[in-house]
Amino acid sequence: MTGGPAADLTIDRLHGSLDDPAFESMNLLNEVSADFPDAISFAAGRPHEGFFDLDEVAGHVERFRDHLRRRFGGDETLVRRTLLQYGRTKGIIHDLVARSLAVDEKIDVDPEAVVVTVGCQEALYVTLRALRRDERDVLVVPRPCYVGVTGAAGLVEMPLVPVTETSAGIDPDEVARVVLAAKAAGRRPRALYVVADFANPTGASLDREARERLLDLAAEHDFLILEDNPYGVFHDGTERPPTFKALDRDRRVVYLGSFAKTGVAGARVGYVVADQRVSDGAGGTALLADQLAKIKSMLTVNTSPLAQAVIGGKLLANDYSLRAANERERRVYQRNLRQVLDGLAARFPAGSEPRVGWNVPAGGFFVVLDLPFPAGDELLRDCARTHGVLWTPMHHFHGQAEPLSRIRLSFSSLTSEQIEVGLDRLAAFVHARCAT
């Protein structure tokens, strides 16, 4: 063959989402972590590794295999086919997921409305892909917001309409104003994305009244609520309000589920509950779940049945209760949360300089700190190098490049010792920074 010009591309010929700050955020934060492997990291919202056990995982697969044997009356060919062949697009543990939702959350759904996905991120993508028909369709999101939401919306070119989220959560009145303004501008707010319990990054939770108010608004203004619930299990032991989905009376809520924190992160299994009925305009109706499955069939075909077996076996081992399965983890996260809060109070006493503030969430993985100076990516790199501690600049969750005077601390994957040393380093960094 003849030598043509070099095949190199330029970024301005690739999809615009690749320029989106959300995509850069994920990348940049991974890079900083990789560049400072020995720093103590308050950056990654990863599950605790203390109970990781490969033999237990193998046991989960065996347990699910036995479950299939019983289901198929001992037919080993069917067992092997179910685990090793291409499989059902909507998944093979949909029934176990539905039972788990009934046991843990009193959510009552038809297993056929469950689509098992490659983590919650794929659940989010397929839902947004379905809802974004043209440029008028928009998604209402809290600001600050988990960057994966911004990213999935970017892939389908769905504009975001922000509502402010503080550590007290989002304000239903603002949601109503924002939705009306979007409609007045010719846009169609198709859904509100919300984490009702211990949101990322704010740690905020919504009380029952706010949840019911938002459900009313969804009905009044014809939008869906996309409820993402990765942290609800990790509470402080006091009674929680019901999830949006448990309160949902007229199928306004699409429920996004993750097993990354409660199951096994390395299985990459999540799901979406979409029991909405979709009319085909010719008299027929189907579940929204079936439309989402059509999208999934063109994206990942089906979720690895071997990966599903890990989660299925864990559900079987715990009588379908992820709350029961995660009691040890819940205690660790609560201990870490209290240790971070107490540690901050000891290092930054009220009324003293430098003035550092923080919120007090009741659960989840995150605490947000207010600092007396803007803390962006450059300062993060600086802090990692000179003080050996990592955190997440909050501007990433606002989809903006300018630094804010806020950072997010994740405490989920740290040990007690790491938290103590990490907070010491963080305090030294803040003092040093304020002294310059």
Asked if 152 and 121 count as a contact pair (C-beta separation under 8 A), the reply is yes
Q: Does 416 bind a copy of itself (CB under 8 A)?
A: no
Distance CA 269, CA 307 (A): 7
- Which of 26-34, 196-204, 325-333, 396-404 is the region at the interface with a copy of itself (rule: CB under 8 A)? 26-34
Distance CA 141, CA 41 (A): 27
Helices (H), 222-356: 244-247, 288-297, 305-317, 322-325, 327-347
Q: Does 7 bind a copy of itself (CB under 8 A)?
A: yes
Nearest to 330 by CA among 367, 364, 368: 364
Among 14, 168, 180, 360, binds a copy of itself (CB under 8 A): 14
At residue 408, φ and ψ (nearest 5 deg) are -105, 135
Sorted by sequence, the CB contacts under 8 Å of residue 345 that are 6+ apart come out as none
Which amino acid, residue 184? A
Among 32, 140, 267, 325, binds a copy of itself (CB under 8 A): 267
- Which of 102-110, 246-254, 326-334, 426-434 is the region at the interface with a copy of itself (rule: CB under 8 A)? 246-254
Q: Does 23 bind a copy of itself (CB under 8 A)?
A: yes
Restricting to residues 173-232, name those near a copy of itself by CB under 8 A. 212, 215-216, 218-220, 222, 224
Per-residue binding string, a copy of itself, 305-344, x by CB under 8 A, is: xxx--x----------------------------------
**Three-state secondary structure call for residue 225:** strand
Residues touching a copy of itself: how many (CB under 8 A)? 103
* Other residues' Cβ atoms within 10 Å of the Cβ of residue 27: 10
Distance CA 157, CA 260 (A): 26
Restricting to residues 129-168, name those near a copy of itself by CB under 8 A. 129-133, 148, 151-152, 154-156
Distance CA 368, CA 360 (A): 9
- Closest distance between a copy of itself and the C-beta of residue 186, in Å? 15
Nearer to a copy of itself, 325 or 344 (CB): 325
- Closest distance between a copy of itself and the C-beta of residue 323, in Å? 21
- Which of 264-272, 338-346, 384-392, 425-433 is the region at the interface with a copy of itself (rule: CB under 8 A)? 264-272
- Closest distance between a copy of itself and the C-beta of residue 210, in Å? 12
> What single string gives the DSSP state of each residue in 138-156?
EEEEEES--HHHHHHHHHT
Q: Does 250 bind a copy of itself (CB under 8 A)?
A: yes
Nearest to 424 by CA among 382, 392, 388, 391: 388
Q: Does 10 bind a copy of itself (CB under 8 A)?
A: yes
Nearer to a copy of itself, 101 or 269 (CB): 269
Distance CA 403, CA 375 (A): 6
| Strands (E) located in 42-131 | 114-117
Rg (CA), the chain: 23
- Closest distance between a copy of itself and the C-beta of residue 273, in Å? 13
Per-residue binding string, a copy of itself, 269-308, x by CB under 8 A, is: x------xxxxxx---x--x--x--xx-xxxxxxxxxxx-
Restricting to residues 91-120, name those near a copy of itself by CB under 8 A. 118-119
Tokens representing residue 223 in the block: 């939008």
Per-residue binding string, a copy of itself, 62-81, x by CB under 8 A, is: ---x-----------x-xxx
Whose structure tokens read 């010792």?
A: 417
Tokens representing residue 229 in the block: 């619930």
- Which of 55-63, 179-187, 191-199, 361-369 is the region at the interface with a copy of itself (rule: CB under 8 A)? 55-63
Among 122, 227, 329, 377, binds a copy of itself (CB under 8 A): 122
- Closest distance between a copy of itself and the C-beta of residue 407, in Å? 21
Nearer to a copy of itself, 2 or 352 (CB): 2
